[in-house]
Amino acid sequence: MVSEKMKELGSKRSVIRDLFEYGKLKASEVGEENVYDFSLGNPSVPAPKSVEETITKLIKETEPTLLHGYTSAQGDALVRKTLADNLKKRFDAPINENLMYMTCGAAASLTITLHALAEKDDEFIAFTPFFPEYRVFVEGTGSKLVCVDTVDGSFQIDGEAFEKAITKNTKGVIVNTPNNPSGVVLNEESANTIVEILEKKQKEYSHPIFLITDEPYRELIYSDVKNPCFLNLYNNTVLCYSYSKSLSLPGERIGYIAVSDKAENKADLYASVCGAGRVLGYVCAPSLMQRVVAACDGETGDLDAYRGNRDILYNALTEMGFECVYPDGAFYLFVKSPIPSAEEFSNKAKEYNLLIVPADSFGVKGYVRLSYCVATDMIKRSLPKFEELMKNYK
């Protein structure tokens, strides 16, 4: 009567959502101030002031049927031109407004791109750890997700493992830097390794292998490191972007796809992106928000707040003896569980009302993820609880 596959997906909550719901229930029992919820990646800093100012100005000055009306299916032409010009200026990258497609956030950017590329028997590679929805997005196209482990501890690219995983069926590779859940920014060596191997394998199999760069955290970097701009390194790149994190607008659902102006058969690839947008019903992204991001592109919320949270949490937890890769970006800490089972560790943490996500669904075992896009005060109040938790393992 209904699709069993869809029913299954819709009936199961992600482990992150489970923990979040548990937190709400617990808060009603013990009080909100006694629950330390590190589960969700919902930005805790408000959107920059310019977002509100732009919305007010647009509402005052734009004719309502235009402001709230349909735009072109692929997005307003002037918005795409403004964004393309900005991107060219900021990254000197091969961007063309006629190869851009406005979307409802990174999830839409990724699902459209994957549907645009996927054919029978195709495989897509993701490096561990990865955003768990990649599995749903890839398998939703009928393709296979192939997971490739990174170097344990640093989570940089393991070239040998990557090369071994590529087959004649590999259609694309998803990279996410800065990374959810590790906070790692891929270094130059990792970026070059990915590109060299892809160039070699494209030649060997005589067909393009696309690099899908999932970059919702592109601007969220707190250290003196540079995020690789793959559009400048590899021709067959499709950039999937979202303003959910950079402008703190996750509920407004706005982002874009940019097919490289140097991609092979770029016109066909872009036509396929437009076709996938139609099939999935992702046409004409929110009209007001398209205009807002065109005005505010490149800005961010208060990064100092995230940097401060990272420093407090990273310094305190490592001092207590927890092991954790230094997170240069995004707003997550990826902490090694002191026992083999991350689930057991997360359950133990629950006894102290600490909500931390076991990371098995991120493709690596034995780690938990903590989101530090939360109130600084909550982080500070949680530290004695982490100390008590750690005592169980000393």
Contacts with ligand PLP by CB under 6 A lie at 41, 105-107, 131, 176, 180, 214, 216, 242, 244, 250, 255
Task: Find out whether 362 and 131 touch, Cβ atoms under 8 Å.
Answer: yes
For residue 376, the tally of other CB atoms under 10 A from its CB is 15
Smallest CA-to-CA distance from 15 within 366, 369, 388, 357 is with 357
Calculate the alpha carbon distances from 307 to 44, 71, 176, 331 in Å. 12, 37, 20, 9
Residue 188 beta carbon to ligand PLP: minimum distance, rounded to whole angstroms: 21
DSSP β-ladder status, 367-371 and 332-336: antiparallel
Residue 121 beta carbon to ligand PLP: minimum distance, rounded to whole angstroms: 25
Residue 61 beta carbon to ligand PLP: minimum distance, rounded to whole angstroms: 28
Q: Which is nearer to ligand PLP, 174 or 209 (CB)?
A: 174
Residue 285 beta carbon to ligand PLP: minimum distance, rounded to whole angstroms: 11
Q: Which is nearer to ligand PLP, 216 or 327 (CB)?
A: 216
Q: Which is nearer to ligand PLP, 36 or 137 (CB)?
A: 137
Residue 255 beta carbon to ligand PLP: minimum distance, rounded to whole angstroms: 5
Vertex 385 angle, CA 302 and 41, to 5°? 35
Q: Which is nearer to ligand PLP, 269 or 289 (CB)?
A: 289
Q: What are phi and psi of 369, to 5 degrees?
A: -110, 135
- Asked whether the CA dihedral 378, 383, 389, 393 is positive or negative, the reply is positive
The pair of structure tokens assigned to 243 is 């303003």
Residue 94 beta carbon to ligand PLP: minimum distance, rounded to whole angstroms: 23
DSSP β-ladder status, 100-103 and 357-358: unpaired
Q: Is 142 left (phi over 0), alpha (psi -120 to 50) or beta?
A: left
Residue 179 beta carbon to ligand PLP: minimum distance, rounded to whole angstroms: 7
Q: Which is nearer to ligand PLP, 131 or 234 (CB)?
A: 131
Task: Find out whether 95 and 84 touch, Cβ atoms under 8 Å.
Answer: yes
Q: Which is nearer to ligand PLP, 292 or 389 (CB)?
A: 292
Residue 105 beta carbon to ligand PLP: minimum distance, rounded to whole angstroms: 3
In the three-class reduction of DSSP (H, G, I as helix; E, B as strand; rest coil), residue 322 is classed as: coil
Q: Which is nearer to ligand PLP, 129 or 235 (CB)?
A: 129
The pair of structure tokens assigned to 46 is 């408000």
Distance in angstroms (rounded) separating the CA atoms of residues 183 and 181? 6
The pair of structure tokens assigned to 161 is 């493992």
| Residue nearest to ligand PLP as judged by C-beta position | 105
Residue 373 beta carbon to ligand PLP: minimum distance, rounded to whole angstroms: 10
Q: Which is nearer to ligand PLP, 182 or 202 (CB)?
A: 182
Q: Which is nearer to ligand PLP, 137 or 345 (CB)?
A: 137
Q: Which is nearer to ligand PLP, 197 or 373 (CB)?
A: 373
Distance in angstroms (rounded) separating the CA atoms of residues 238 and 231? 8
Residue 379 beta carbon to ligand PLP: minimum distance, rounded to whole angstroms: 20
Distance in angstroms (rounded) separating the CA atoms of residues 29 and 24? 9
Beta bridge partners of 127: 148
Secondary structure E strands in the chain: 36-37, 100-103, 123-127, 144-148, 170-175, 210-214, 237-242, 255-259, 323-324, 332-336, 354-355, 357-358, 367-371
